[in-house]
A and B are shown apart, each in its own frame.
Chain A
Amino acid sequence: MENLGALALLLGLCLSVYTILAALAGKWKQKPYLAASAERGVAAVWALVTAASAALLYHLFTDDYRVSFVASHSNRDMPWGYKLAAWWGGQEGSLLFWLWILSTYCFVAVWAYRRKHRDMMGYVIAILMTIQAFYLLLVVVPASPFQMVSSGGQVTAMPDGRGLNPLLQHPMMRIHPPFLYLGYVGFSVPFAFAMASLITRQKGDQWIATTRIWTMVTWLFQTCGVMLGGRWAYAVLGWGGYWGWDPVENASLLPWITATAFLHSVMMQEKKGMMKVWNVVLVAATFFLCIFGTFLTRSGVVSSVHAFAQSPIGKYFVTFIAIGLAGTIYLILDRLDYLKSENQLESVISRESSFLFNNLILLASCFSILWGTLFPVISEWVTGEKITVGAPFFNKVNIPIGLFLLFLTGVGPLFAWRRTSLESLKRNFLWPSMAALALGVGLAAFRIWNFYVLMSFMLCLFVALTILQEFYKGARAIQGKQGGTLVGCAVELSHRNTRRYGGYIVHMGMVLMFIGFTGQAFTKEAMEEMQVGQTLQVGHYGFRLADLKKANSPNYHSATVTIEVNRDGQPFATMHPEQRFYHASQQPTSTVAIEAQMKEDVYVVYAGNSNDGQKPVIQVFINPLVNFVWLGTFVVVFGTLVALAPSKVKMVWPRTQVVGTTGATGRGGDWATEAKQADEGMRR
């Protein structure tokens, strides 16, 4: 079976090279049979990569410890779910997993769009297959998942495997990496379409329309992946937080930020034919940041708890990124004439400007994170001294940027296209601003002086109210015409323009997440060596160590403490934090106990034992508002799904008409006109 897997990958590499050549020759020589052959080549490569993946899974599930990857990342007593997770738990397997997702995406994209974009499909296939060929090269040459364990030149089998890293043996690890990879890899498709449109000198926005939904779905996966990673860190790592500004965490955030910027600026191109160069740059930046993130995780350039073992694949990535970047920059510069803006800016106070600012702030945030991640390497190179760039740096730089972004989230969507009148500004922002100021005064009265905390809560309220106001006004307009409940009308409103109102829901999700982030400022914690019967008081909560039990399972042995928690003297919960020692990997780990409430989480860690080994060390965190982060994520996911759903009324107008609603109507947005037009559309 291992030969079958390795052979499938080798054949896949050869076939992907053939597919690139066939796609290009089909295009250049205008030979339809070669173009059709290239399309079939995409399907064949997918079949071969799937076969290789199935072979690796077979080795994992049959405990075949002759295969080096299986011996290093699995063991007999691991539950089947973690044997599946071992596929992406190590360097070689995760590259194969990445490749399998990429080949699946290519297959779907090519078969879905082959007729719609026949003029650029040849180049799309060539670009996607070049990326695939690169990953196939990696799994064939430097990082083969089918390498055998050998001793004295003979293939041999280990009696048992070393098992998956204990930190990865958590239910979240079964879904966090797949989501993240679905996000990372998915950005290859918009990149391929963008480059193909440049190569074929497309003047229109066809590639934008095609890839917008693709980008949104990919962005959704990436969002889920990043947040699931945060949830995993919170539930597993036991330090009470969910984001540590680790280089690998940062690497996952970078393409998410540029993709977010793209999802906003793409509206400028669709509605006004502006920011064409910028959109191509953003798509390319997102793709290369995905590749760069993979490089960071796997090359050993920066040290990280999330990184895979060091390997020689770094130089392959550097070469690929360098060639890819050079080609992309050349293409963009060469095709600047085809990317000229079709419109002009009429006012600084307009939706167009807010998009420009939004993009600038997002990119500034992206740059600061990238800079902070790489600065230790740069500094050591220049000064020869090792330094650390950790959470204090990232927080100092990114909190103000994040707050400004939150502000733009509130004001941007309420600015009208072209220009916004003063009257409209007043009408839209007066009450939200007053309410936010009142909140600030109230919080200050209760001795919450921290500037960022105050600003964050005030902005959260401001943005939430502006969004609710939009729903309210739109729903009232529909209610006035058709009757019904306000909630029903709000649903109807969202259904009529899913993209717009889905976007608002996403923004509301971000507000909830910011509330959760701000809650961190009020975290309370304590750590103590405790005897059975002893009590520890933290805030309103009392923690009594009731019991200590030891147990043994095939995979690990464990020590579990029972903690009885009371709140203001009343029984609240019984919690069981645990320490585990995994037999196969000989590694200890702790399992956190969390009692989640909307207001705050009670988070208890069995952090170790006293020096004499007699008393457990118990660490307690009270994390206020942290569940708003997870709730916000659900709302973001829901909002994105709403935005992806087709609108009830298809509203298609020439650009000039679409952008015609201005501040002259007295509305910040154009909800009233849209509602009217939607009604007319429905009647038609």
Chain B
Amino acid sequence: MRGWALVGGVVLACGLAGQTVTSGDPMYVRMRAVGEKLKCQCSCPYTVGSCNMLNCHFRDQVNPQIRADLTAGVDETTILGKLRAKYGTVILAAPPAEGFNVVGWVMPFAALAGGLLLLRRVMLRWRRPKAALAPAGMASEKYREQIEKELADLE
């Protein structure tokens, strides 16, 4: 019963949270979405969408182009392609997955996969029984001496 009350409470809470989800001006939102994929070239570290440098020459130059293209019904990929052709690949906020840049995208996941393999190996090694290891300390010394003595007696 207590569990179902918890589940009910959670659903109610997320319902209340869900009420606040609305969207703003559609054109501004679309423009901002495209701008988020473009790196601003005004020496700030942000995207064209988030650059707020006062009177930024680059943002103020690119944003009208994006707005005009979006208004004309041009899709996002074409807009990004046009801007890339005009300003170079450096304008894209993330490297395109082509040529050598594929390495950039693949490497983190390859490293993770490599790490998993390494982890598996370490776990297997750590799980190996240690029975084969030689006994240590004074006891081993005592037994070794006894074995050597008995072997000598045999001879």
Could you list which residues of chain A lie within 8 angstroms of chain B, going by C-beta atoms? 237-241, 244, 246-247, 274, 303-306, 341, 343-346, 348, 353, 356-357, 360-361, 363-364, 367-368, 371-372, 375, 379, 382-383, 385-393, 396-397, 401, 431, 434-435, 438-439, 441-443, 445-448, 457, 461, 522, 524-527, 538-540, 579, 588-590, 599-600, 605, 607-608, 619, 624
The answer to the question of B94 belonging to the interface, with a C-beta cut-off of 8 Å to chain A, is yes
B52 contacts A605, C-beta separation under 8 Å: yes
Closest 5 CB pairs of A and B: A446-B18, A368-B108, A442-B14, A390-B93, A442-B11
Question: Complex Cα distance A401/B90, Å?
Answer: 26
- Give A578 Cβ to nearest chain B Cβ, in Å: 12
- Among B25, B94, B123, the residue within 8 A (CB) of A345 is B123
In the complex, B43 has a CB within 8 A of chain A: yes
Select B123's contact among A353, A367, A590, beta carbons within 8 Å. A353
What's the Cα separation between A382 and B99 when bound, in Å? 11
Task: Tell me the smallest distance from the CB of B135 to a CB of chain A, in Å.
Answer: 15
Shortest Cβ distance from residue A392 to the other chain B in the assembled complex, whole angstroms: 4
Extra contacts, 20 of them, besides A371-B104, A393-B95 (Cβ < 8 A), are A305-B45, A344-B127, A356-B119, A356-B123, A379-B95, A390-B93, A391-B36, A391-B47, A392-B37, A392-B93, A393-B104, A397-B105, A435-B10, A442-B11, A446-B18, A446-B19, A457-B14, A522-B21, A526-B25, A605-B52
A385-B14 in contact given A241-B50, A368-B111, A431-B6 (Cβ < 8 Å): no
- Is the CB–CB distance between B93 and A387 below 8 Å? no
Whole-angstrom distance from the CB of A568 to the nearest CB of chain B?
Answer: 12
Once A305-B44, A446-B18, A526-B24 are accepted as A-B contacts, the answer to whether A607 and B52 lie under 8 Å apart by CB is yes
Contacts of A353 in B (CB 8 A): 123
Contact indicator B28/A526 (Cβ below 8 Å): yes
The main secondary structure of chain A at its interface with chain B is mixed
| CB-CB nearest in chain B for A278 | B122
Q: Which residue in chain B gives the minimum CB-CB distance to A579?
A: B54
Contacts of A522 in B (CB 8 A): 20-21
Q: B10: which A residues are within 8 A, CB to CB?
A: 435, 438-439, 442, 461
Whether the pair B11, A388 counts as a contact (CB closer than 8 A) is no
Structural contact, B108 and A367, CB atoms closer than 8 A: yes
- Check A391 against B3 for contact (C-beta < 8 Å): no
B68 contacts the other chain (CB 8 A): no
Residue in A303, A396, A434, A445 whose CB lies within 8 Å of B94: A396
- Across the interface, which residues of A come within 8 angstroms of B94, CB to CB? 388-390, 392-393, 396
Q: Does B78 contact A (CB under 8 A)?
A: no
* Identity of the chain A residue whose Cβ is nearest the Cβ of B90 in the assembled complex: A386
Q: Is B62 in the interface zone, CB < 8 Å from A?
A: no
Residues of A within 8 A of B47 (CB): 390-391
The CA-CA distance from A445 to B24 in the complex, in Å, is 22
Residues from chain B with Cβ under 8 Å of A387 in the complex? 89-90, 92, 95, 101
Residues of B within 8 A of A375 (CB): 95, 104
**Does B18 contact A344, Cβ atoms closer than 8 Å?**
no
CA distance A372 to B130 in the complex (A): 42
Q: Hey, what's the 0/1 contact readout for B1-33 against A, CB within 8 Å counting as 1?
A: 001001100110111011111111100100010
Residues in chain A near residue B130, CB distance under 8 A: 344
* B21 contacts A448, C-beta separation under 8 Å: yes
Known: A367-B111, A588-B54. A356 touches B3 (CB 8 A): no
> In the complex, what distance in Å separates the CA atom of A25 from the CA atom of B136?
36
Min CB distance, B8 to chain A, in Å? 8
Can you list 14 A-B pairs, Cβ within 8 angstroms, ordered by A? A304-B45, A361-B112, A367-B111, A368-B107, A368-B111, A383-B99, A434-B3, A438-B7, A445-B15, A447-B18, A447-B21, A526-B28, A589-B54, A607-B52
